[in-house]
Amino acid sequence: MRSTKAISAVERLKTRSGNAGYAAVSMPGGYFYLAERSPEGTKKLSEPMPMDDFVAFVNAREPGKPRKVSKLDLAMEEQIGRSGKRTAKAPEGEA
């Protein structure tokens, strides 16, 4: 059984959230559920689901990392913003 995909999704969740207590629990039949381990005990955070559904659930759990923006991206957005302002300032009578 290929559980690497599910475990990788949980590892990314741990990185995004900063919570190392998340764990993927494998069940017979290729089902997984998300659990959170803490000093008080283990808390089940989802119902058992197939691997693809589990990965989608885990990926949606915490917000993703902010996208890195390069200087070129910033310059392009600024240029697009300037060109949009010019068209918005055009008089209504002109076509």
Per-residue model confidence as pLDDT tens digits over 3-56: 789 999 999 999 888 888 999 999 998 899 999 998 899 899 999 999 999 999
Q: Dihedral of CA 58/13/62/73: which sign?
A: negative
What residues does each domain of the chain span?
A: 4-61
pLDDT category, 61, cuts 50, 70, 90? confident
Q: What are phi and psi of 29, to 5 degrees?
A: 90, 10
pTM check: above 0.85: no
pLDDT on residue 62? 76
